[in-house]
Amino acid sequence: MKLLAAAALLAALVPAAPSGPSASPWHERRGGDCAQPLAANRSAERHADVRHRTDGHVRDDLDLSPAEAAAVEARLNRILDDLGQGEHGSAKAAGLRRGARITIPVYFHVIHAGAKGNVSLAMIQRQIDTMNASYGGRNGGADTHVSFTLKAVSRTDNAAWFGDPERYEDTYKPKLHRGGKADLNLYSTYIGGDLLGWSTFPWRYKSDPEMDGVTIHYASMPGGSIHNFNKGFSATHEVGHWLGLYHTFQDGCSGQGDRVSDTPAERDPTNGCPAYKDTCPTPGDDPIHNYMDYSYDTCMNSFTAGQGARIHKVWTAYRA
């Protein structure tokens, strides 16, 4: 896919990057079929085509190539068929949409450097509340029948981890990670450059459970300091990936898109909050208000019923 022009980096005070171990294999190679060993595929979740925003911010870089997405979907469908869930789990997903809920315990890990990034318990609870409103349809759109409850909070004062969380991810995650495949480990820290967060996909859990989780810029939390991205929807977006959702612009105007029928195809991620955007010839305007796009937080307000159904299917395959 076309790489948009890079822009100014996020302006923020941050400790100088510490000396330390070189970047792990997570950051070195792009992987292929998800069925291959994880060590050769981690970067498929982290370093695809980075789409820089014109204001210097990007939600994440969790884009899969069409071939990678096709391999993931083929394996997902095989698992659901093997579980006896009808046509790729449609019966189970329909039952979940009718009333059953997924309640997810959250282990929230605050990585800070002294006072920098040491977010309050009240701010953490506001983030959980925001996620519950997002996934419960209370801001608009569909109720996905997913909710979150704060299980525990850890605090780690480590300037090196805080200053370069990507470099030290292989160090702090195994030390801090708690729970199992159905538990969300959510890390808040400083993220340099223009990223607002990142996530692992659920199909990676079995191969490397301690790396499972979501990382967000602490200043993107509700009431944070990042202009246009401080309503807490960066966590909503990244948790969407953790639950198995793609970007709304996955595959662009071709292929099978994000594998959700009620999100119209979208060629490019949305920047800002335009009044109108339609980048593909297929029916439907771009889903600029969807949490899985790149719009400003002030523009985002909804998931679709199809995204909710996909979450439940993926949950059945990988996290139930």
Question: Which amino acids are annotated catalytic?
Answer: 238
| Residue 278 three-state SS | coil
Burial degree of 153 (CB within 10 A; 0-12, 13-18, 19+): middle
To 10 degrees, what angle do helices 121-135 and 233-242 make? 60
Q: Are the C-beta atoms of residues 207 and 40 closer than 8 Å to each other?
A: no
Sign of the dihedral defined by the CA atoms of residues 4, 55, 134, 263, in that order: negative
Q: Name the phi and psi angles at 188, rounded to 5.
A: -110, 135
Q: What is the DSSP-derived secondary structure letter of residue 151?
A: E
Exposure pattern of 194-222 as b/e (b: 16+ CB <10 Å)?
Answer: bbbbbbbbbbbbebbbebbbbbbbbbbbb
To 10 degrees, what angle do helices 90-97 and 305-318 make? 120
Q: Are the C-beta atoms of residues 81 and 157 closer than 8 Å to each other?
A: no
Q: Are the C-beta atoms of residues 82 and 74 closer than 8 Å to each other?
A: no
Q: Map tokens 């979740």 to a residue.
A: 45
**Residues 6+ positions from 73 with CB-CB distance below 8 Å:** 256, 259
Q: Map tokens 């605050």 to a residue.
A: 110
Please name every residue paired with 28 in a beta bridge, in sequence order, or none if there are none: none
